[in-house]
Structure 1
Amino acid sequence: MRRFPSMDLNNRANTSTIYLSNLSVGFIKISVLVYSNTLESDFCFDDQFAIVDNPDVRLPLLLSSSLPSSSSDNRSIGTYLYDVFFLHDFWGQNLKSNTSHKSYRPLTTLSFRFNAAMSHLSTNQTEFFHLTNIMLHAVVSIYVFFLAIFLFSYRNNQQQQQQHISSSSSSSTSFSSFSSFSSYLPKMLVSDELASFIGAMFFALHPIHTEAVSGIVGRSETLCTLFIMLSIFSYVVSFNYQGSSVAPYLGSLVFFICACLCKETGYMLVIILPALELVVLNYRKTQGRSVIPISMDAWKEFIMRTFGLVCVAIAYMAFRKYITVSVFLDNFRFLENPIARHPDQQTRILSLFHLHYKYFMLLLFPHEMSADWSFNCIPLIHNILDPSNIKSLLVYTSISFTILFSFSKLNFIESLKNIKKSITSKSTKNNNNNNNNNNNNNNDDKFNYDSSNILWLCIFGVITFLPSSNLFFWVGTMIGERLLYLPSIAFCLIISRLITIPLVKLELSLLQQQREYNNLKKTDGDKKQDQVTTISTTKYSNKFKLITITVCLISIIISSLYGYRTYQRNIDWEDDINLFFSALEVCPNSAKVHYNIGVLYRRSESWDMAMEHFEKAKEILPEYCDVDHFLGLTILNKDGSLPLALKYLNQSLDCPYVASKSVESIAKIFDYLFATYPENNQLYIELGYIIARLNPLDAAKQFHKAGIMEYNKVDSLYKQPNWHTMTSAQKQHQQTGMKQAITLFEKSLSMLPSNLAKNLNDEEKHLWCFNQIWLSSSFKPLDVSISLGHLENIVKHCKDQSFWEQTYTSLLSIRHQQYKESQEKGSLDPDICKSLADLMKMSPLYQDQSIQFYKQASDLYKQIGKFKKSKDCLDLINKK
């Protein structure tokens, strides 16, 4: 007679520690192997800004770092920590600045600083940075495996234990099909443990993680994910803890804060943890009866845990709001996220849905990857009939179906109906036991438990993706592959569970067969027992082997493809050259990619190729102002065409991202010109006009130099000692603020005779009128009324000058703009009508327009109750 040999649960428990330890070492080896080719990689992409140029990373605090450092920066450790935690963002900028990225990640910055301090131990500056990233990814992969074991193995272990207990009194031998049918493979390769191993393996090897692991700046993703895992496990321990200690729960809150201090995504734990308690922990506690607490005590515990979590979350957000001023980033450009800046709502919605489709495809088929997905890598969707919308719809449908199907298996509606009865029932424990016994006799139990796991994983994936989704607030990027690091945990574990479903079904059949075997044992004797045992063993042993081998082969193929693609993708992250040329293959229509490649060609002095890519970037996005700066420099390097180069450099002064660099470049060009043509005062005038928009003080210096040169050249110029006070203004420019210097210059002019403009000869008058232009330009950012006064001086006294008509038009335009702003605010300047009248006297060309202004001004004054002002305006119209 053949029986099922007994399964030694105690022996299995004793070997679990060794089993998990070996697997953990295995995940570390796999991670190190697949990312080993990154150890020699250079700083690239955003590493330059977050590490090399970040004063909080390259600060020489502990040991002499091989990274470049500022000799003038001698902050103490206390001051440094204060700056990192309270003053600076992830990139080393002032958190309160309008130009700050608002990325508050001090723990990540400290980890960079630690690597910088250790970099002196290696000849390669980046080796410790990359090694830290690899080890963090390996540890996270181990925790993903533990999470999968927790999710997938609970139901299996429970049923094994219950089966062992129920049969121990009647026979020394019991069901052990898991050990019987796994003799040809390691014992871990049963459905749940196999799913856990496959899921963690997929995560460790998935190519989408290369940006987070190979790119050093991706450290924020791995660190944040690590603390999220620790917070989840601490929360699970606190839920199951039998005692009065709150240490595990407090530990979960501490890890929650640490996750937030590594990256903002950690804040999503405020939703993930309560969802875990309801969908997984409570569902198990009630033996599959309900996802809602079924007793008053359970409700109190859930509310208290959630309340504490929410309080910590609110406190953290308030603190973050205090130090960053604004929580959300809104200073990104159309170039970086064109969806957010597009004026048409339909285009924004359709393009956003298509963007989510692209994210999903990067998880499913991570073949085409790019470090930059900015405009116009992914074309915007303008038409609702665009075929791309079908792809988006399919992705949303598949995710929604998975969530709804899993949710439908949890008897949520039935739980709501029985909630009152369950809370008030005095026999809850007995009801639980009875329901548990009934559930154990239902083969759907396993799938119901898996449904709770899949549902929570879907919630986990969706919630952790929300900060990057552009749904609730706009982010400064179209697609960031590193942003999928955390959500990919859910994807990998769900895929591993789907792959192993055939094994789960087979195990259900084995459990059913075992129940039949036990029933026959009690009623029909040994003959039928042997018959059933022999048939079932032969049938299911072969099928189990076939399915298991198939699942393993599929998993090995996918893992091999993932590992190979990851290893190859790491080569792209070796340096900026490989990175951006690989991006060009994926995004040939990206303006930013062409711009970066143009910069790379400039470094190698390939001027023609640089020009080609700069011009392509401008063709894709004409508003891409950064390109003008490098176009100007490249034209100068290539052809020496100064006028054309200055044209582009002058245009780039309006671009806040390169304006300061353009000023430096222009200054160097003019230094050369001044040395070559020292007597040409027109060069100083031209330079003054160019830089007046950015630095009126430096512009004043140039105009002043031109004026002095003109004065020295013209013998007939009206000379008196007061004119020489103008030279003192030049000396004061470096010692006083802008307003004081301008005031000093104005004072020097006021010391001239009051009838100066009328009595000067042509040369003298030209200089006087020209200085009025400078004064108007310089006062514009300080006091508009004074600026307009100088323009009016030109209009009144300088009609014979070539720039009079342009000045007059500018004055009218500014007055008109003032009037429009007054209208929009619902109030008028008390002297607006008088000003318009003065303008109308200057030229008959603007009389019709001015009369229209009077009518509008009169109506507006009347609306706000200033009837006298209204009448004054009407009187002016009547006079005309």
Structure 2
Amino acid sequence: MQHNERWKHGITWLFLHLLCWAMYIFPVFVTSRHNLHRDPVLDELHILSPDNQDVNGDSTWTEIFSNDYWGRPMHSSSSHKSWRPLTVLSFRYGKGPAWIPDLEAHRFINILIHAATAEAVSVLAARFVRPPSFRIMVKLLFALHPTHVEVTANAANRGHLLAVLCSVAASDPQLPWLLFVLVVLVGYLSSETFLFQVVPSAVTLIAITHIRMRQRETASERNLREQFIQLLPQVLRRGGFLISSGLIYYGARYYFDTLSIPDGLIRPAENPFFILKGWDRVRSYAYVVALHVGKAWDFDWVGFSHEYGHECIRPIVEWDDTRLWIPLVVMVIYVGVGLVALFRPFSTFFWWYVVHVAWMTTLFPISGIVKVGTFVSDRIVVAASVSTCLCYGWLAWMWMQRSGSSKSSAYLSRTERRFLIGVVFLVMYRRVYNRSLEWMDSLSLLESSLKTCPRFAKAHLEISKIYSGLYPEQWNLTKSLLHISEAHKHDPTFCDVHYQYAHVTLQQHHYLKFEQHLVNALQCPFTMTGAMQLWQKYWPAVLEDSSSQDSGGSVAAARSRYESYIQIINNAIAEHENDESNRENQTKKRSSPFANWAGDEEL
């Protein structure tokens, strides 16, 4: 009889695990086959680029461990300080056979990691509440959380998934010690975001240990004390290892000066709130934190977008802005529930609250306190969703267990409750399915972003590139020019638009406009390299062609324009060097990883 029960239990969990695979395999590999070009999307272009020596080249392991995620040296002024060597190695060696494209192999590995993370979260749930039905509920809720699409369907976000998998696994007090140490090391090598998940893991370890002691109903008070004394070294050893390793990691990054992202790499087009100061910054980032808390609870009032750039979410510059009610309500709810928990110290409810708040602290990077390039992002929410899925699973499981009279219309039968929960899961899967399809194609992803953020300049720019020849079958210069004009209108400081303007006007044979935009593109640090290559191809050909003509006027006109452009560029270079010199003289101290808050402009 026990053998049959074990067999049935094993089949059930195998089915659930395969189901977690199928949730993403179906939209990613089956229904997306209708796409015309199944090309890499966004940062996947970098992963698959032949120029990426760390993944597709001959870089040594020493170079990989010395570079950031984008292949730049960590000490470089152009480095984003994202140190993820193990994730890079997973791309380098995690490729399928010759008949499977590398892109599909990378995406499939992400799906496997996400399913493994869902399983790890369900194991964590079983440490809190033993019944299998609760564990099943939590696993499905985590697998179907809509904010996970970005890190699962897009291979380039693998580091975030690996970090969450490791932090959840490290939260299990029953994990063997050596495996625990290995998991923590893998977490640090996978993504810098693991640092913010160390404290939640330590808190969860302590909570589970205490709850499991209280669940031993047959033990006397003396035995409980003895068990506590026996388990205390294990808790201190694991919790101490987590905290001390986090301090060592942070100290090493600080010592080698690889914590702080250069200000020039944090762009208003991607993180528009970074330049805010004083109370404007406090108000605006309070709203951003509340927005991420809402995403973790699956309340997204802004909508899906792969980025939320310029003019997508406007800063809060006045106290009478109605959006401030949202962070206020969130704070009141958390403080109120916290007070209730304090009146029940060390109860199961108390530990549930403490664990939940601990995982919510993983949202710290987007609080505006530290310098990060990320603004609003689904991938940052994945770790926080661990605790919200546990809470939702517990509420759903308690509702399922609720007893009531089947004759009364006030109560639903267990079958009816299961049916309603099944409907909820189907609705959740439909969102995951649709969102996954959008991530399979650059155009559909960017168009979905414009539905949420119609004034998002960077999205308009990327769509303009698609219509200007990135995908030949989509070539439409009229649409391309329309989108680049929208980008320039919504964000006049977005200097990248000039390089795209140059490409479009060159194809339209509007050469004077092309030259003017090319000069502006040369003055933009983000398009300087490409613009210089285009400049070196264009002007020798123009000057040579002009000199071969009979009319001397055309030669003089071309050379006059060329010299005036050179003068503009030289003046811009001199001005930039002067600004850099003044900045260095004003800031002799080491760059801080912390962003400035109130009163920065007066310091």
Residues 306 and 198 of structure 1, relative CA distance in 2, 3 Å threshold = closer
Check 1:17–1:327 CA distance in 2 against 1; reply closer, same or farther (3 A cut): farther
1:14–1:151 CA distance, 2 compared to 1 (3 A): farther
Is residue 309 from structure 1 mapped to residue 208 from structure 2 by the alignment?
no
Query: What does 1:594-613 align with in structure 2 at a 5 Å threshold?
Result: 594-603=460-469, 604-613=474-483
1:134 to 2:122 alignment: no
What is residue 61 of structure 2 aligned with on the other side? Answer: 81
Taking the aligned partners of 1:453 and 1:778, their CA distance within structure 2 comes to 58
Q: Which residue of structure 2 lines up, in the alignment, with residue 254 of structure 1?
A: 182
Match of 1:555 in 2: 421
Once the two structures are TM-superposed, the CA of residue 204 in structure 1 deviates from its matched residue by 1.0
- Preserved contact between residue 283 and residue 292 of structure 1 (Cα < 8 Å): no
Q: Secondary structure at the match of 1:574?
A: coil
Tell whether 2:508 aligns with 1:574.
no
| Partners of 2:406 and 2:412 within 8 A in 1 | no
Structure 1 segment 268-347 matched on structure 2, within 5 A: 268-285=196-213, 302-321=235-254, 325-328=258-261, 330=263, 331-343=265-277, 345-347=278-280
Structure 1's 292 and 360: CA in aligned 2 closer, same or farther, altered over 3 A?
Answer: farther
The answer for unaligned runs of 5 or more in structure 2 is 588-603
SS in 1 for 2:56: coil
Change (3 A) 1:307 1:692: farther
Matched with 2:455 is 589
Contact 2:460/2:486 (8 A) holds in 1: yes
CA distances 1:753-804 after superposition (whole Å, capped 9, x unpaired): xxxxxxxxxxxxxxxxxxxxxxx9999999x9xxxxxxxxxxxxxxxxxxxx
- Separation in structure 2 between the aligned mates of residue 458 and residue 98 of structure 1, nearest angstrom: 36
Which consecutive unaligned segments of at least 5 residues does structure 1 have? 1-10, 61-74, 154-191, 239-247, 412-447, 507-537, 697-775, 785-813, 826-880
Q: Aligned residue for 2:52? A: 55
* AA aligned opposite 2:46: F
Deviations, residues 306-364 of structure 1 (Å, cap 9, x unaligned): 43333333333344445663355643111211111124x22222221222233234342
Aligned to 1:31: 21
Output the CA distance in 1 between the equivalents of 2:73 and 2:566: 26
State how far apart, in whole Å, the 2-side matches of 1:456 and 1:121 are: 45
The answer for the alignment partner of 1:717 in structure 2 is none
Match of 2:562 in 1: 687
Cα distance change, pair 599–781 in 1 and its aligned pair in 2 (3 A): closer
Alpha-carbon distance between aligned partners in 2 of 1:204 and 1:262, rounded to the nearest angstrom: 21
**Structure 1 range deviating more: 262-271 or 319-328:** 319-328
Find the counterpart in structure 2 of residue 230 from structure 1. Answer: 169
d(CA) in 2 for partners of 1:199 and 1:822?
52
Partner residue, 1:390: 325
Q: Which residue number in structure 2 is paired with residue 374 of structure 1?
A: 309
- Counterpart amino acid of residue 465 in structure 1: L
For 1:406, the equivalent position in structure 2 comes to 341
Following superposition, the deviation at residue 44 of structure 1 comes to 0.5
- Shift of the alpha carbon at 1:296? 6.7
Alignment of 1:212 with 2:159, yes or no, is no
> Residue 61 of structure 2 aligns to which amino acid in structure 1?
L
**C-alpha displacement at 1:142, in angstroms?**
1.5
Q: Quick one: which amino acid aligns to residue 23 of structure 1? A: W
Identify which of 19, 22, 30 aligns with 2:12: 22
Structure 1 residues 658-710: Cα deviation after superposition (integer angstroms, max 9, x where no partner): 0121222223321231122127366456435535677x7xxxxxxxxxxxxxx
Deviations 1:352-397 (A, max 9, x none): 1222233234342458311121111112222111111112222233
* Residues 1:113 and 2:92 are matched in the alignment: yes
Aligned to 2:195: 267
Asked whether 1:358 is paired with 2:291, we answer: yes
SS in 2 for 1:338: coil
Distance 1:777 1:449 in 2: 64
Q: Which residue of 2 aligns with 1:455?
A: 354
**What is the one-letter code of the residue matched to 2:203?**
A
Q: Which residue of 1 aligns with 2:397?
A: 500
Relative contact order higher in (CA < 8 Å, ≥ 6 apart): 2
Q: 1:552-596, CA deviations, whole angstroms, 9 ceiling, x for partnerless residues?
A: 233212210111111111111122111111211111111111111
- Seen in structure 2, the aligned counterparts of structure 1 residues 488 and 13 have a Cα distance that, compared at 3 Å, is farther
Instruction: Determine the C-alpha separation between the residues in 2 that align with 1:403 and 1:52.
Output: 49
Partners of 2:15 and 2:53 in 1: how far apart? 34
**C-alpha offsets along residues 91-122 of structure 1, whole Å, 9 cap, x if unaligned?**
11121111111111111111111234x35232
Partner AA of 2:468 in structure 1: R
Matches within 5 A, 1:727-766: none
Q: Aligned-residue CA RMSD in angstroms? A: 3.7
Residue number in structure 2 paired with 1:203: 142
TM-score, structure 1 as length reference: 0.58
Q: Distance in 1 between matches of 2:40 and 2:391?
A: 35
Task: Specify the code of the residue in structure 1 equivalent to 2:354.
Answer: L
Change (3 A) 1:324 1:105: farther
Answer yes or no: is 1:654 the counterpart of 2:523.
yes
The alignment partner of 1:597 has SS state of: helix
TM-score, normalization by structure 2: 0.83
How high is the sequence identity, in percent, across the aligned residues? 19
Q: Distance in 2 between matches of 1:388 and 1:250?
A: 48
Match of 1:620 in 2: 490
> Given that residues 503 and 514 in structure 2 are in contact (C-alpha distance below 8 angstroms), is that contact kept between their aligned partners in structure 1?
yes
Separation in 1 of the partners of 2:528 and 2:585? 34
Q: 1:690 to 1:499 in 2, by over 3 A?
A: same
Residue in 1 that maps onto 2:69 = 90
Whole-angstrom CA distance in 2 between matches of 1:220 and 1:496: 26
8 Å contact kept, 2:154–2:439: yes
CA deviation after TM superposition for structure 1 residue 297, in Å: 6.7
In structure 2, distance between residues paired with 1:556 and 1:31: 18
Distance 1:126 1:143 in 2: 26
AA of the residue aligned to 1:381: I
8 Å contact from structure 2 (residues 47, 55) kept in 1: no
Residues of 2 paired with 1:621 and 1:292: CA distance?
64
Q: Deviations over 1:495-541 (max 9, x none)?
A: 121223345554xxxxxxxxxxxxxxxxxxxxxxxxxxxxxxx9699
The letter of the residue matching 1:337 is: N
1:643 aligns with 2:518: no
State the alpha-carbon separation in 2 of the partners of residues 211 and 822 from structure 1.
39
Match of 1:845 in 2: none
Aligned 8 A contact 1:373 1:480 in 2: yes
- Which of residues 455, 464, 467 is equivalent to 2:362? 464
Deviation at 1:823, TM superposition (A): 12
